[in-house]
Amino acid sequence: MTTAIARSDRRVSPVFLALVAIMGVSAWAVWTNFSTSKGFAVFLFVVSGWIVSLCLHEYAHARTALHGGDISIGAKGYLTLNPLKYTHALLSIVLPVVFVIMGGIGLPGGAVFIERGRIKGRVRHSLISAAGPLTNVAVAVALTAPFWLGTVDGVPAVFRYALAFLALLQVTAAILNFLPVPGLDGYGVIEPWLSAGVRRQVEPFAPFGLIAVFGVLWIPEVNQLFFSAVDAILHALGVNGWDTYWGQEYFRFWEGEPESPLSL
């Protein structure tokens, strides 16, 4: 099936390459302390890294759908990693970045349109939905590798903070997306196994699932429980609350440069 995809439909987009370049340059600026504003450099690194992970999240959905039988994926441009090709740019890029700025929560939204009628088998449908948040899991493991490998001692403190905060976003994205809420990937995993009647009843609520989850997270008790779970996962990956806290403090550069000791 992949042989039916034109080479131009699989070529990595210059937009994605530009995002990767911004991520790389801002990472260098944080690492070397080159920027006059550490916070702004951290902000650029985290936001560009977050958008890159969003592209990978949606690419995973698209690639799995392609191998599942939807050969229309290539023509839609989803295999180019270009965020501008997503069907819901607001849900896919703008709102997730706003959520990060407002509450330090990583929450990808629905983006790629998959022609489900082309895909046979409930397992394939479930795998397509699971592929996105599983990508966030993989990115979180990669970002925290210096921590759980014990090689973080030589890493500049501010870069370590930024890396930890970006990892936190990946963990929150994975957890929230696996929730069985209409409109999120977790519901997409179980939806093929529900009766047609249940799916019809739930369908009208799908457009509001993302906003509902974010609203519930503003309830203090729920927010505390959620971030306790996130901290426990990060702790298992070798990342402590000190690093994620100061990562978010530097990220909010508009509030001024944080006065923090640079090491634990």
Q: Which residues are catalytic?
A: 58
C-alpha 262/C-alpha 264 separation (Å) is 7
Q: How many residues are there in the chain?
A: 264
Burial of 160 (0-12, 13-18, 19+ CB in 10 A): buried
How far CA 89 is from CA of 55, 76, 126, 169, 225, in Å, comes to 11, 14, 23, 19, 30
Query: Do 51 and 94 meet the contact criterion of CB atoms below 8 Å apart?
Result: no
Phi, psi of 50 (to 5 degrees): -65, -45
C-alpha 226/C-alpha 234 separation (Å) is 13
